[in-house]
């Protein structure tokens, strides 16, 4: 009877269950575990996915806890098939519930960046600060970040973080600090990112984060790498993480950060594997969005370091084509893709392409990427013996690097040696094709079949990023 009175006294389902459990333990009674939406979420946060999956199937069969669906689709997209999709809302109003979570789930499902940004902004303006709305606010901030608008997320982080007090749950204080660290990384403010990631860990010890640990770990790893503190970055990567983290978007951040560290450490093959793993996961989950993780651009960096210029150019152009089709020509991803594609071009074509990248990166306010683009432009101008422009670009790059505290670790990539990716046999075929010889003539000169010549040309076009023999580089002649 006492247990029932305490349960009735609380309108909160989870609190009632906790009070009832305490009283039952005091009276020496055991009772069966009551599985709620909150307890399933806790299982997933702690990486107990097999147990949670069983309950999700039971909930789906019984039609219970539809509010769990958005949370699962956002943070465990691989389990989306175990929850029912809610009907689309006819209107959108912000209360104190989980509207931010619904906005993020809708963005993952529909990939409509403009609508997601507008609705996330609506949540952030109207949702009051307080325990009931904290998850909604965090989800709205995550939506802005994943829609490639870290600049907007950064504007909201400061006032929201100021409103979180010691009365807020440490988990949410840590979550706000971790998002702030992520936005700082995406704006090239690496010292700020390092400080915010440290704050996130001060609110919540590492063992209490569960699968979410990857968010502050990734931000700290990225910050330490950009600052040139590779030994510190390695120590953070050595922190044990739950395997279940890689079933969540948090795992994507971690893989990307590890790939970035590996690039800086000279392990380009391992870095490439991390970025490609991100791509495989994102495509499998149906959230191949560059604002989540721009895995193609990480892979381009690795390919450039490996000297595989043709593959790097194709991947950079693929990212640009996707951005163009999505109307995302003025985003951070677009600016970085322009910069990396420029590094695959012959020297004389680089300055103009890099100026386009500089213009975009200035617009989106990514200090670090802007500094790297200017350094690349300065190097290209110096190679072309344009001293005044080279000095101006290099001077501005150094100023930006000092302002964000980053280390000038990225060196300009030398102009691609056209055909460097080709095998000796492919180079012989390409040379003859560049001179205008037909496939049959080439087969006669090299004593191979016409089919072999055709196969070589297919690989040559792919490696050089061209589609016909007329586009083969003149150096091959």
User: 365 CB contacts (<8 Å, ≥6 apart)?
Assistant: 151, 187
pLDDT at 22 over 90: no
* Separation CA 442–CA 428 (nearest Å): 9
Of the pLDDT bands very low, low, confident and very high (cuts 50, 70, 90), residue 11 is: very low
* Separation CA 342–CA 319 (nearest Å): 13
Of the pLDDT bands very low, low, confident and very high (cuts 50, 70, 90), residue 193 is: very high
pLDDT, tens digit, 9 for 90 and up, residues 284-295: 999 999 999 999
- Note the pLDDT of residue 126: 86
- Distance from first CA to last CA of the chain, Å, rounded? 94
- Note the pLDDT of residue 118: 93
Kindly report which listed range (25-34, 90-99, 108-117, 166-175) carries the lowest average pLDDT score: 25-34
Q: Which is more confident, 91 or 171? A: 171
Residues 29/51, Cβ–Cβ less than 8 Å:
no
Of the pLDDT bands very low, low, confident and very high (cuts 50, 70, 90), residue 2 is: very low
pLDDT at 299 over 70: yes
Provide the 3-class DSSP secondary structure of residue 451: helix
The domain made up of 424-476 has a fold known as Arc Repressor Mutant, subunit A (1.10.10)
Percent of the chain's residues with pLDDT above 90: 51
- Note the pLDDT of residue 250: 96
pLDDT, tens digit, 9 for 90 and up, residues 398-443: 999 988 888 775 555 555 555 556 777 888 888 888 888 899 888 8
Q: Tokens 């599985």 sit at which residue? A: 35
Mean pLDDT in residue range 204-231: 94
How far is the CA of 183 from the CAs of 391, 448, 452, 463, in angstroms? 31, 56, 51, 36
How far is the CA of 18 from the CAs of 5, 259, 268, in angstroms? 13, 42, 50
Extract the tokens encoding 296: 């193609």
How far is the CA of 437 from the CAs of 192, 422, 430, 434, 448, in angstroms? 59, 19, 10, 7, 14
Q: What does DSSP assign to residue 94?
A: -
pLDDT, tens digit, 9 for 90 and up, residues 239-298: 999 999 999 999 999 999 999 999 999 899 999 999 999 999 999 999 999 999 999 999
Mean pLDDT in residue range 31-59: 83
Host H or E run for residue 157:
helix 150-163
pLDDT at 464 over 80: no
What's the angle, vertex CA 371, arms to CA 370 and CA 372, rounded to 5? 90
Residues 457/469, Cβ–Cβ less than 8 Å:
yes
pTM for the whole structure: 0.79
Mean pLDDT in residue range 313-331: 90
What's the angle, vertex CA 281, arms to CA 102 and CA 288, rounded to 5? 55
User: 437 CB contacts (<8 Å, ≥6 apart)?
Assistant: 445
What's the angle, vertex CA 333, arms to CA 136 and CA 215, rounded to 5? 45
Of the pLDDT bands very low, low, confident and very high (cuts 50, 70, 90), residue 456 is: confident
* Separation CA 375–CA 395 (nearest Å): 9
pLDDT at 8 over 50: no
- Note the pLDDT of residue 314: 93
- Note the pLDDT of residue 336: 96
Q: Which is more confident, 395 or 36? A: 395
Nearest C-alpha neighbor of 197 from the set 212, 218, 226, 211: 218
Residue 8: count of CB within 10 angstroms of its CB? 9
Domain ranges of the chain: 2-82, 424-476
Residue 209: count of CB within 10 angstroms of its CB? 25
Mean pLDDT in residue range 122-129: 84
Mean pLDDT in residue range 339-366: 93
Provide the 3-class DSSP secondary structure of residue 460: helix
Extract the tokens encoding 365: 């306010």
pLDDT at 6 over 50: no
pLDDT at 113 over 80: yes
Host H or E run for residue 323:
helix 309-325
* Separation CA 285–CA 73 (nearest Å): 9
Q: DSSP characters for 172-220?
A: HHHHHHHHHHHHHHHTT-HHHHHHHHHHHHHHS-GGGSGGGGHHHHHHH
């Amino acid at each position: 009877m006492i247990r029932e009175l305490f349960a009735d006294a609380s309108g909160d389902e989870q609190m009632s269950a906790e009070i009832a459990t305490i009283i039952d333990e005091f009276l020496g009674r055991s009772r069966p575990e009551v599985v709620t939406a909150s307890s399933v979420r806790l299982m997933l946060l702690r990486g107990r996915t097999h147990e949670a999956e069983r309950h999700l199937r039971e909930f789906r069969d019984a039609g219970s806890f539809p509010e769990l669906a958005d949370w699962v689709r956002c943070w465990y997209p691989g389990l989306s098939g175990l929850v029912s999709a809610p009907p689309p809302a006819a209107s959108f109003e912000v209360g104190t519930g989980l509207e931010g979570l619904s906005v993020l789930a809708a963005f993952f499902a529909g990939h409509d960046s403009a609508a997601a940004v507008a609705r996330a902004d609506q949540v952030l303006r109207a949702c009051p600060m307080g325990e009931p709305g904290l998850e909604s606010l965090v989800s709205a901030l995550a939506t802005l970040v994943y829609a490639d608008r870290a600049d907007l997320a950064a504007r909201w982080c400061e006032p929201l973080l100021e409103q979180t007090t010691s009365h807020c749950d440490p988990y949410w204080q840590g979550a706000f600090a971790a998002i702030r660290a992520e936005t700082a990384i995406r704006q090239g403010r690496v010292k700020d990112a390092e400080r915010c990631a440290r704050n996130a860990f001060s609110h919540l010890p590492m063992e209490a984060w569960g699968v979410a640990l990857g968010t502050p770990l990734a931000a700290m790893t990225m910050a330490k790498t950009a600052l040139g503190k590779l030994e510190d970055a390695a120590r953070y990567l050595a922190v044990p993480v739950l395997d279940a983290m890689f079933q969540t978007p948090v795992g994507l951040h971690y893989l990307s950060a590890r790939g970035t560290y590996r690039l800086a450490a000279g392990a380009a093959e391992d870095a490439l594997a991390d970025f490609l793993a991100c791509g495989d996961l994102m495509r499998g989950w149906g959230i191949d969005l560059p604002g989540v993780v721009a895995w193609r651009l990480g892979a381009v960096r690795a390919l450039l370091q490996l000297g595989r210029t043709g593959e790097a150019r194709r991947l950079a152009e693929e990212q640009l084509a996707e951005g163009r089709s999505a109307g995302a020509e003025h985003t951070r991803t677009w600016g970085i893709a322009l910069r990396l594609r420029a590094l695959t071009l012959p020297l004389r074509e680089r300055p103009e392409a890099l100026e386009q990248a500089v213009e975009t990166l200035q617009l989106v306010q990514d200090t670090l990427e802007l500094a790297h683009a200017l350094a690349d432009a300065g190097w290209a101008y110096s190679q072309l013996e344009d001293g005044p422009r080279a000095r101006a670009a290099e001077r501005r790059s150094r100023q930006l690097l000092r302002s964000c505290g980053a280390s000038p670790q990225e060196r300009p990539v030398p102009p691609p040696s056209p055909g460097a990716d080709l095998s000796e046999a492919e180079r012989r075929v390409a040379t003859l094709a560049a001179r205008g010889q037909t496939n049959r003539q080439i087969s006669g000169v090299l004593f191979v079949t016409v089919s072999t010549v055709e196969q070589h040309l297919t690989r040559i076009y792919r490696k050089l990023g061209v589609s016909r023999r007329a586009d083969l580089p003149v150096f091959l002649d």
